[in-house]
Structure 1
Amino acid sequence: MHELNPNWSVYSPFVSSIVQAGESLGAPMDTLLIKAGIDKHLLKDSAQRFAVAQALQCFDLITEFSEDQNLGLYAGRVGYVDGLNLQLYMSTVCSTFREYLNLMPSMLRTTGDLGEVAMQADKRFLKLQWHPLWQPSGEQRHLSDIVLSMSAAIVDSLCVQPIPVREAHFTYAEPRDTQMLRTVFGDKLLFGQPISCLFFDRDSLDYPLTRPYGDMSSAFAKLPVDHLFDKDHTQDPFLRELRQSLLRLLPQGRGNIDSVAEELTLSRRTLQRRLSERDTHFQQVLQQVRADLALRYLSDERLTVTEIAFLLGYSDQGSFSSAFKSWHGISPLEHRRP
């Protein structure tokens, strides 16, 4: 697609990462945000969306001010740190890198209308590919750099063993100065390639994920069972296992009865019968899990509403907000207000 769709938008954390990177380069961000038509006060709201065109204009304005061409790499580092809380939650429902990849958040759902990251594997490598929605952006550094640098940082921090980039491909032409690119991605860099892509060792698929410890452990690792449902319900092994399955499947968008039955190695009919024996049904359990999880996640200010929507298996923030209001009578943002 060669035309930039004026309806495409991104969530404010993406724009904020560009702003923070620009500030680190000494750019007059208040002035540049005005030029891009962005109200800086709205950046504090993680649910706020801005036009993709405005985000790209921020890149261009900062680049005009600074001779440093590594803006996307810096913004990617900021984005990585901003997403750490979601990674911590993911580590409570995954045990290996392979399992994490099966749950890997969609950029379209968590960031906005920029593009999608896809994983492919051959006999030797895992290939993390970046597919932008707006094809001409592949000729520029900014979007590729921010997505690939953030992805490289996430992958290398997930597991007990490091997972370094073995090779990196970029769709844009080779810049004059590649020192920072080599610092981030290593020395094997190829430019002018058809797809922006990072290569990792295939053996890393079975690496164990790091687990939260201490205070983090009590906040995150115990979440799946201890902080969700009343004690009478969690004493039922079947309901306990069903809810654990939902916790794993919801981020994949697979919180339906057929996926849960498959996860529990039951037929759909057997699952329905066992729930009926307990005077409940699948949709009731699903909504209870989502409603209780939503309250738990919202109590953690480090998670954005968009990230919570992803963890609960909703396609977008609006669908989650509507559901939450039906459960609790107010929106997620209203619930968070003091």
Structure 2
Amino acid sequence: MTRLPTQGHSSPPTSSTTVLASVVYGLDAFIARLGAQPVDVFSQCGLEGRLSSTPSETVLLGAYCRTLDYAASKTATANFGLWFGHQFEPRRLGMLGYAALSSSVLGDALDNLAAFFPIHQDNSIVTHSRQGETARLDYDVGDPLLHDHRQDAELTLAVLCNIIRDACGENWSPATVHFRNRAPSCTDEHEKVFGCKVLFGQETNSILFPATNLTTPMPAADGLLFSAIKDGLLQIQAHKQSVEQDFLLQVRRVILDLLPHGQPSITQVAERLGCPYWTLQRRLAASGFTHRLLVEDVRRQHALKYLRNGEHSVSQTAFLLGYSEGSAFTRAFTRWHGCSPRSWQGLDRA
């Protein structure tokens, strides 16, 4: 019987969602300018304050959001994320920023931004759409452990607004801006930053603006640069996929090692891997698996391997795959392959 994760863990679930470390650029100087000590803020929130020279280096989005919240408190700047985003130059986003800035026209820039954003930040989307005469950009984080990320949402929409202003001019303003979070105590600053009416408690974090802006040329359009940036982003994507494939292989090996002792729980597998069970659960979900489905997949694959050429009997195979009864293994095997394990062995030998 599968042992369910127990309650009362010493640490609460934490998100494993990451964002490229370019988002940290200038954060220390901005905190210092507002009168707080960056080192204290970073150490309190578990964020590394210096930038790595590696383009694919990431930081935990949860730590980044905590840093924004804590910086807001330490600097007595309630809308810290809003103001940090307002002064953040799009090129400081690294490859994602340059992918947008080197596009030919604003519409292409926003399409490219939306396409590459999941490489920049896990479990998150930027959507660019058009309805009649209105264009819109939506931003959301799909990680339920990061449901309260007001500072990050306001920062991100301010940076997206800066990308549009790069094409349309620094005095450009949207038609309206929407935020999912409740209205903070002071909203005048939001209307000052965006230059338009800002609504809170909405369904999405969105910037709405005239669709006629989409044909505006990007001042730094550069086809060769865009091609190089695109290749770099795809390399980062391939690296992330390789890391996840290696992780899945490691999880499969642990499951296979534990199966002779019975069907392993997600807690047992996580303990063997040296990570919290919720981190394992989230990384499996990002790869399209649940713990139960992966255990079954390991059993299904190795059932054939163990039975092939008569290396193991049906009862031995059932034991190695964690079945307490041979009949349970036979039912599972029949469901997977359309025949009983004994019948399959006979076909394999024929």
TM range (shorter): 0.5 to 0.7
Name 1:130's counterpart in structure 2: 139
Name 1:316's counterpart in structure 2: 237
d(CA) in 2 for partners of 1:64 and 1:84?
A: 28
Name 1:183's counterpart in structure 2: 192
Instruction: String of CA shifts for 1:257-292, please: whole Å, max 9, x gaps.
Output: xxxxxxxxxxxxxxxxxxxxxxxxxxxxxxxxxxxx
> Of 194, 198, 201, which residue of structure 1 is paired with 2:203?
194
Q: Which has the larger radius of gyration?
A: 2
Q: Are 1:52 and 2:61 counterparts?
A: yes
TM-score scaled to structure 1, two decimals? Answer: 0.58
Cα distance, 1:73–1:44 mapped onto 2, change above 3 Å: farther
Cα distance, 1:34–1:45 mapped onto 2, change above 3 Å: farther
Cα distance, 1:98–1:81 mapped onto 2, change above 3 Å: closer
Name 1:73's counterpart in structure 2: 82
> Of 166, 183, 197, which residue of structure 1 is paired with 2:175?
166
Cα distance, 1:41–1:175 mapped onto 2, change above 3 Å: closer
Q: Which secondary structure state, in structure 2, belongs to the residue aligned with residue 34 of structure 1?
A: helix
For the 8 Å contact 1:138–1:172, the answer to whether it is kept is no
Name 2:116's counterpart in structure 1: 106
Tell me the C-alpha RMSD between the 2 structures: 3.4
Q: What percentage of aligned pairs have identical amino acids?
A: 17
For the 8 Å contact 2:176–2:198, the answer to whether it is kept is yes
Q: Which secondary structure state, in structure 1, belongs to the residue aligned with residue 88 of structure 2?
A: helix
For the 8 Å contact 1:156–1:162, the answer to whether it is kept is yes
Q: What letter matches 2:127 in structure 1?
A: A
Deviation at 1:197, TM superposition (A): 0.7
Instruction: String of CA shifts for 1:205-227, please: whole Å, max 9, x gaps.
Output: 22222246xxxxxxx57x47xxx
What are the equivalent positions in structure 2 for 1:1-338 lying under 5 Å apart? 6-41=15-50, 43=52, 45-76=54-85, 77-78=87-88, 80-83=90-93, 87=97, 92=102, 94-104=103-113, 105-110=115-120, 112-113=121-122, 115-135=124-144, 137=146, 139-159=148-168, 163-211=172-220, 223=224, 293=228, 309-310=232-233, 313-314=234-235, 316=237, 318=239
Deviation at 1:23, TM superposition (A): 2.3
d(CA) in 1 for partners of 2:96 and 2:144?
A: 29
Q: Which moved more, 1:4-13 or 1:114-123?
A: 4-13
Deviation at 1:160, TM superposition (A): 6.9
Runs of 4+ in 1 over 6 A off after TM superposition: 319-322
Deviation at 1:150, TM superposition (A): 0.3
Residue segments in structure 1 that go unaligned for 5+ positions in a row? 213-219, 225-246, 249-292, 298-306, 323-338
Name 2:310's counterpart in structure 1: none
d(CA) in 2 for partners of 1:87 and 1:41?
A: 19
Residue segments in structure 2 that go unaligned for 5+ positions in a row? 1-11, 244-350
TM-score scaled to structure 2, two decimals? Answer: 0.56
Instruction: String of CA shifts for 1:229-278, please: whole Å, max 9, x gaps.
Output: xxxxxxxxxxxxxxxxxx76xxxxxxxxxxxxxxxxxxxxxxxxxxxxxx
Q: What letter matches 2:163 in structure 1?
A: I
d(CA) in 2 for partners of 1:205 and 1:41?
A: 36
